[in-house]
Amino acid sequence: MLRFWETEFGGLRPSKSRNGQRLYTRHDIERILDIRNLLYTEKLTIEGARKRLKEKRGSVSEPAGDTESVTGNNLNLIREVREELRKLRDSL
């Protein structure tokens, strides 16, 4: 099922280990859970799920001052990622 979803939904591109096992990131897992929810709970078609994911990606682009639409956990995650990126940039 996951391999099929990788072909049907863009953005699901796990890296592979040396022995060929797929390595999913946290973002991949969250996306997989979103896909499963859309297909099995909300009973959308694959095309409908693709559209919904595309809409979701567009609406979560950047919380520039509008933090009411972003949950506390997501906001903390965004802050952590920004800090990690700053550290990485500074080390270069």
Residues 47 and 73 in one domain: no
Within the chain, strands assigned E span: 15-16, 22-23
Give me the domain span that covers residue 77. 63-92
Residues 11 and 34 in one domain: yes
Residues 76 and 40 in one domain: no
Residues 42 and 11 in one domain: yes
CA 43 to chain centre: 20
pLDDT for res 92: 76
Count of H-run helices and E-run strands, the chain? 4, 2
pLDDT for res 71: 58
C-alpha 70/C-alpha 11 separation (Å) is 21
- Nearest of 35, 68, 71, 37 to residue 53 by alpha carbon: 35
pLDDT for res 65: 46
pLDDT for res 79: 80
Residues 40 and 14 in one domain: yes
pLDDT for res 58: 73
Residues 49 and 72 in one domain: no
Residues 32 and 51 in one domain: yes
pLDDT for res 59: 63
**What average pLDDT values come out for the chain (92 residues) when binned by 10 residues?**
88 88 89 91 93 79 46 72 83 78
